[in-house]
Structure 1
Amino acid sequence: MERLDLLALSDFVLVARHGGFGKAARAGGRPKATLSRRVSELEASLGVRLFERGGRDLKLTEEGRALFERAGSLLTDLEEAAVEIASGGQRPRGRLRISAPLLFSQVAMGKLAADFALAYPDVRLEVTSEDRPVDMVEEGYDLVIRVDPKPDEKLIGRAFLHDWLVVVASPDLSRSSLAPVSAVVRGNDQTERWTMTGQAGEAQLAVDPILRLSSLIMIRDAVRGGVGAARLPISLVSRDLAAGRLTRWGDVAGSDIALWALYPSRRHLSARVSAFLDLLKQAFPTGVPQELAAYVDR
């Protein structure tokens, strides 16, 4: 294989992120023909097809998806490092507005905000906790943190934490293979069966939602009280499992989730946003759920 062309790789990531050559050309200010040629050259050098070009939509192949996941994160790292160097070590100042989901705000944002305020006293940090999608530009946010956000060609970012759901219950709660198990669910969840995976393989658990709560922390506390089983993030219940306050019945199949930090444009990434992204990297260097649990216990 020839030496990898980083410009071609960057153009591939741009096209993959925007889902087409036309959209990528408009977003990146590069000719559509140039992007097409660069991607074709990259495919030739790698000896694989990165896009399926049939039909109206441009779709990543399996190889293309794997390259995009790795290269997108790598190029973001390089660009953020370049911005930091170009700023000449300028000390962040001004206002930084962040929107974060309720659970992450409850368990971690207070400590993160305190660490940030102590490290950057010239920045006025404002954090709003909400699970709804927000319009960063219209609502004036500099950074948003979201769980598995939908692709948005106007936003870029990185996944900084990964988690998954587990089925947990009080050690006193009995589990039957016949009768539905009393369950605590979030909101208007109408699921009647939970699919779990474990050492014995995949299993179905019939549930009877007897309690509906709007907060995952409320659900965890109710499960601790022995009222029923629940599906909760492993990071939220790992301490309870270790202490024997809860038992783990299995993992929820296909429940891998990622927490993303998103911002409008890497070209004008402010020193304030860059500093907060660095703080997230320091707090969760590998992004595994155990790091979040340890950070909460800090």
Structure 2
Amino acid sequence: MDLLALADFNLVARFGSFGEAARATERPKATLSRRITELENSLRLRLFERGPRGLKLTQEGRALYERTGALLAELADSAAAITSGGEQPRGRLRISAPVLFSHVAMGKLAATFALKHPEVRLEITTEDRPVDMVEEGYDLVIRVNPDPDENLVGRVFLRDRMVVAAAPVLTRRKEEPAVSAVLRRGDERTACWDVSGPEGTSRLSIRPVAHLSSLIMVRDMVRLGVGAACLPLSLVSHDVATGRLANWGDVEGPEIALWTLYPSRRLLSARVSAFLDHLKDAFPLGTPEELAAYAGSDL
């Protein structure tokens, strides 16, 4: 198989059109089109459907793109490392990270990584939705309790747990049927929390007073005594330590685990390996208290 033609195929597949690929690489559009046609003829497969709305990968084309795109990127990384005389991280590093973690830690992580590896160009997207790493061109994703995916491998680098936190002015009275609560949007059907503490597990009935889309906004309302809330320990541990908030106990439920994920069918590039090491250096123990301390400290 012609590797140059395969590289041109991956280029066009990534940009989604001959015109965009030609403009990005300053190569003739006709040359790219001819190379793709030659590749299709040699494979006896149609790789693109060509229509009035542009190009669309066929089923065979998508399979070829998913299996060869990462390998070609790895070849490029290896060539760059050889010509530069070492495995110095360089090039673009695209990362997708969840919203809350990005707000409390990714800015500092990105800054310290950039200072350490100036030849890496970071591109970080903040979102909670599951992303398609191959289709969307991510090198690394960070996710909370991700679903198993046979096409990805990864590791846990941080653990957290949910606690019920409230301002000291808000007390739990046995005579009250329910406590005022600030909830995150999506938890509208929640009627109670199972809370465990030194005295065992108890069920706490709640009366929602607000629904917010951000846990940071939820915490801010709780600080002002509006109600109690179920929040990650890392987000409130500093407030609990200083007496600004009270920890009523752990919420029964699955542990929160933050994972780094990357494609399993490729060797890790130097830049991905460097960022994984950077996370390990930042969170050697991977505890909620460690994340809280990292987010609250100066650069």
**1:212-259 deviations in Å (ceiling 9; x for gaps):** 001110000010011000000111100000111100111101241100
Matching residue of 1:95: 92
Rounded to whole Å, the distance in 1 between the matches of 2:193 and 2:168 is 19
Matching residue of 2:183: 185
1:160 corresponds to which of 157, 161, 175:
157
Matching residue of 2:226: 227
Rounded to whole Å, the distance in 2 between the matches of 1:94 and 1:195 is 48
Matching residue of 1:8: none
Q: Does 1:250 pair with 2:249?
A: yes
User: Contact 1:108–1:296 at 8 Å: present in 2 too?
Assistant: yes
The two structures, once aligned, show a CA RMSD in angstroms of: 1.6
Q: Which protein shows a greater Rg?
A: 2
SS class of match (2:128): coil
User: Contact 1:147–1:260 at 8 Å: present in 2 too?
Assistant: yes
Rounded to whole Å, the distance in 2 between the matches of 1:155 and 1:181 is 43
Runs of 4+ in structure 1 deviating by more than 4 angstroms, as ranges, are: 86-89
**1:162-205 deviations in Å (ceiling 9; x for gaps):** 00000010100122234211100110311101000011111000
Rounded to whole Å, the distance in 2 between the matches of 1:162 and 1:266 is 27
User: Contact 1:184–1:223 at 8 Å: present in 2 too?
Assistant: yes
Rounded to whole Å, the distance in 1 between the matches of 2:207 and 2:265 is 47
User: Contact 1:156–1:266 at 8 Å: present in 2 too?
Assistant: no
**1:118-170 deviations in Å (ceiling 9; x for gaps):** 11111100111101111111111100000000000000000000000000101
Rounded to whole Å, the distance in 1 between the matches of 2:266 and 2:186 is 41
Which stretch shows the higher mean deviation, 249-258 or 117-126?
Answer: 249-258
User: Contact 2:166–2:248 at 8 Å: present in 1 too?
Assistant: yes
Rounded to whole Å, the distance in 1 between the matches of 2:217 and 2:223 is 10
Matching residue of 2:206: 207
Q: Does 1:108 pair with 2:101?
A: no
Aligned-partner residue type, residue 136 of structure 1 = M
1:123 corresponds to which of 114, 117, 120:
120
Structure 2: state its 5+ residue gaps: 1-77
Matching residue of 1:48: none
Rounded to whole Å, the distance in 2 between the matches of 1:124 and 1:188 is 35
SS class of match (2:250): strand
Rounded to whole Å, the distance in 1 between the matches of 2:216 and 2:111 is 22
Normalising to structure 1: TM-score of the pair?
Answer: 0.69
Rounded to whole Å, the distance in 1 between the matches of 2:151 and 2:173 is 49
**1:88-127 deviations in Å (ceiling 9; x for gaps):** 8510111000000000000000000001111111110011
Q: How does 1:140-151 map to 2 (within 5 A)?
A: 140-151=137-148
Q: How does 1:9-88 map to 2 (within 5 A)?
A: none
User: Contact 2:98–2:143 at 8 Å: present in 1 too?
Assistant: yes
Q: Does 1:269 pair with 2:290?
A: no
Aligned-partner residue type, residue 236 of structure 2 = V
User: Contact 2:95–2:124 at 8 Å: present in 1 too?
Assistant: yes
Rounded to whole Å, the distance in 1 between the matches of 2:130 and 2:270 is 25
Count residues with an aligned counterpart.
Answer: 214
Rounded to whole Å, the distance in 2 between the matches of 1:205 and 1:297 is 31
User: Contact 2:152–2:264 at 8 Å: present in 1 too?
Assistant: yes
C-alpha displacement at 1:294, in angstroms? 1.2
Aligned-partner residue type, residue 119 of structure 2 = D
Query: Structure 1 residues 89 and 236, CA, compared in 2 at 3 Å: closer, same or farther?
Result: farther
Matching residue of 1:172: 169
Aligned-partner residue type, residue 109 of structure 2 = L
Rounded to whole Å, the distance in 2 between the matches of 1:188 and 1:140 is 29
